[in-house]
Copies of this chain bind each other. A is one copy, B any other.
Amino acid sequence: MSDLVRLSLSLEKPLYERLEKMVSRRGYTNRSEFVRDMLRRQIVEEEWNANAEVLGTITLIYDHHRRRLGEKLTGLQHEHHKAVLAATHVHLTHHLCAEVILVRDKARHVKALADALGQQKGVLHADLSMASTGRTLE
């Protein structure tokens, strides 16, 4: 864990009161942790905009009875084997699957892979969740 820096802020009284209410209502143990979480969301957003190395989670819903779809999805992941950290597969119904794929790469590459996977015929849904490699969030 890193050293802590103490800093002070000034807030208008009503804004301060809203902050205290949000901190307690959302179950935070203290105000610093709430501010840290706001900051980290800003950082993650910046990293994706700046095409930094990021972490992305791609969620796919697909019909695994669709001819050769599984093969194609695996093939695409293998072409990016250095970037794909892990993939987890879950059976939803007789023929539907969910797959979550954790990818670490430049933001633009992660987006391109998510698009390529999502466009395969038989993929019913694809979504990309933007996270960070964590090193900038500590």
In the complex, which residues of chain B have a beta carbon less than 8 angstroms from the beta carbon of A15?
2, 36, 39-40, 137-138
List 26 contacting pairs A-B, 8 Å CB cutoff, sorted by A: A2-B12, A5-B13, A5-B16, A7-B16, A11-B35, A26-B119, A27-B116, A28-B119, A35-B35, A37-B119, A40-B125, A55-B59, A57-B100, A59-B102, A61-B137, A85-B90, A86-B90, A88-B100, A92-B104, A93-B134, A96-B133, A124-B137, A124-B138, A125-B131, A125-B134, A129-B129
**B32/A11 in contact, CB under 8 A:** yes
**A135/B33 in contact, CB under 8 A:** no
Tell me the bound Cα distance from A32 to B125 in angstroms. 15
- Number of A residues, CB within 8 Å of B: 74
